[in-house]
Chain A
Amino acid sequence: MTVNRHPPVTDFATDFDHTDPTWVNNPFPIWDELRATCPIAHSDRYGGTWLPVTHEHVSAIAYDTDNFTSRAVVVSEVRPGPLDLPAPIGVAPPITSDPPFHAMARRLLLPAFAPRKVDALEPFTRQLCNDLLDALEGKDIVDAAVEYAQHIPLRVIAKMLGFPTEDADYFRHVIHLILEEGITATEDDDERLVEGQALDAYFDNQIADHVANPRDDLTTFLLEAELDGNNLMHEHVRGTMLLILVAGIDTTWSAIGSALWHLAHNPEDLKRLAAEPDLMPFAIEEMLRAYAPVTMARLVAQDVEIAGCPMKEGDWVLLPFPAANRDPEFFDRADEVIIDREENRHAAFGLGIHRCLGSNLARMELRVAVEEWVKRFPDFELADPSAVTWAAGQVRGPRSIPVRLPGRSS
């Protein structure tokens, strides 16, 4: 972890910080408290940030692409340039794009992530999970986050893009820099500059290799894709690759980790899931609701008032879909995990035009990862609750989950 340049928070209603250890370890009581007292909080940190915590406000802002721009979606000390530039494409379309360009950039990628495309990756994913599980056999204590959950999206994404799976460690390093350390970075950060150039060079190499040897993967798909009759600009291809690495790995790792963490200390749910596999689809959605990993952000595009709060152009707004998912006005027994919850209109994958492009893929990975784990270790348990650590920043999930695998009699 980086040095935290942010003093500890004493009042989340007026001075919140989503990287504060209290939030990182357990944000739910903070959101509950705010929902009751101050449903849109403000903090001067990061140059001015707003925090809606009800489903009503989170969804209203997600749908309002006129007043809130996606030009930057990760809150940091550094803001992108002036907000009055023409229709922004952003560094990583479509996540950083606004209408009308957004729809074009998104439409281009949608076919690659549609359910049938994702179904084709399921056998690979199942095999991968089983290989990882084989390596855990015979051990007493393992780390379900590090030795299992983490590897699944890394390798699935590498496979999808057609990058060598051995490079998975490198991707992990890059993502960590962007997602966790990027928050506190300043503009003149040499190390980040060098890393950025190295990553561009890596992408350039992969692109050159795919130009020479086209194959059936997402990289070749991007190189052959057309926008308005032209191939994508080189920067657009690289930006999309970066987006897929950043958006597709830590997020899914977190979702798998949270689900395993829940089952590791809720033996009654684990037992039920092992005995009633038909519950799996409902359990997966409930895990996504209760432990939604992703909080997005927007910048205020023009001065606007939301629920009486005077938001100024250039202010950050955190969009905590995980808090919307715990809103008792919107969900019955919102703070309980009910693995057979049938009605579950959760927003873990966002709402509106930026709905997670990888949601079909993420769901498939999460379901297969949990299914295979539960089949293999139907009675595992948390070994040391105090050793569980959580990622700081806008993607939340357990980064270490020591679990005990009971000796098996076979």
Chain B
Amino acid sequence: MRVHVDAEKCQGHNRCYSLAPELFDVDDLGNAVELNDGNVPEGLEHKARLAVANCPEYAITISE
């Protein structure tokens, strides 16, 4: 599973970063970036889905 942040849509609400700091980081402006190329380590799939479901801007997508 991989997660992807659409930088055009991300407005830096930081929901993803606080729910899944293992998967997302924030840059100096507060916008989100995926960690390790978006690869979701085993066991963190639920967190990845949570991040998707809580992003107010629909900026995060998952690919299997």
Contact = CB atoms under 8 A, between A and B. Distances in A.
Verify that A and B bind, or say they do not. yes
Given A281-B18, A352-B11, A342 B50 contact: yes
Contacts of B19: 281
A285 B15 CA distance: 9
B12 A110 contact: yes
Given A353-B11, A360-B30, A347 B17 contact: no
Interface in A308-363: 342-347, 349, 351-353, 355, 359-360, 363
B14 A360 contact: yes
A113 B56 contact: no
A114 B28 contact: yes
Contacts of A115: 14, 17, 26, 30
B28 A351 contact: no
B53 interface: yes
A343 B11 CA distance: 19
B50 A355 contact: no
Size category, B interface: 10 to 19
Contact of A343 (B17, B18, B54, B57): B54
A241 B27 CA distance: 24
Contacts of B11: 351-353, 355
B12 A355 contact: yes
B55 interface: yes
A110 B31 CA distance: 9
Interface residues of A, number: 23
A111 interface: yes
A349 B18 contact: no
A61 to B, nearest CB: 15
A331 to B, nearest CB: 12
Contacts of B14: 115, 359-360
A271 interface: no
Contacts of B13: 349, 355, 359
B50 A114 contact: no
A334 to B, nearest CB: 15
Contacts of A345: 53-56
B12 A351 contact: no
Interface string A96-117: 0000000000010011011110
Contacts of B12: 110, 355, 359
Contacts of A353: 11
Nearest to B15: A285
Interface in A355-410: 355, 359-360, 363
Contacts of B15: 285
Interface in B12-58: 12-15, 17-19, 26-30, 50, 53-57
B37 to A, nearest CB: 22
A107 B57 CA distance: 18
A360 B26 CA distance: 12
A363 B13 CA distance: 11
A111 B29 contact: yes
A370 to B, nearest CB: 15
A107 B27 CA distance: 12
A347 B15 CA distance: 12
A384 B14 CA distance: 37
A142 to B, nearest CB: 31
25 contacts: A110-B30, A111-B28, A114-B26, A114-B28, A114-B30, A115-B17, A116-B26, A343-B53, A343-B54, A344-B53, A344-B54, A345-B53, A345-B56, A346-B56, A347-B56, A349-B13, A351-B56, A352-B11, A352-B57, A353-B11, A355-B57, A359-B12, A359-B14, A360-B14, A363-B18
Given A110-B29, A343-B53, A355-B12, 4 more contacts: A113-B30, A115-B14, A345-B55, A360-B14
Interface of B: 11-15, 17-19, 26-30, 50, 53-57
Question: What are the nearest 7 A-B pairs in CB distance?
Answer: A355-B11, A114-B30, A343-B53, A110-B29, A111-B28, A345-B56, A115-B26
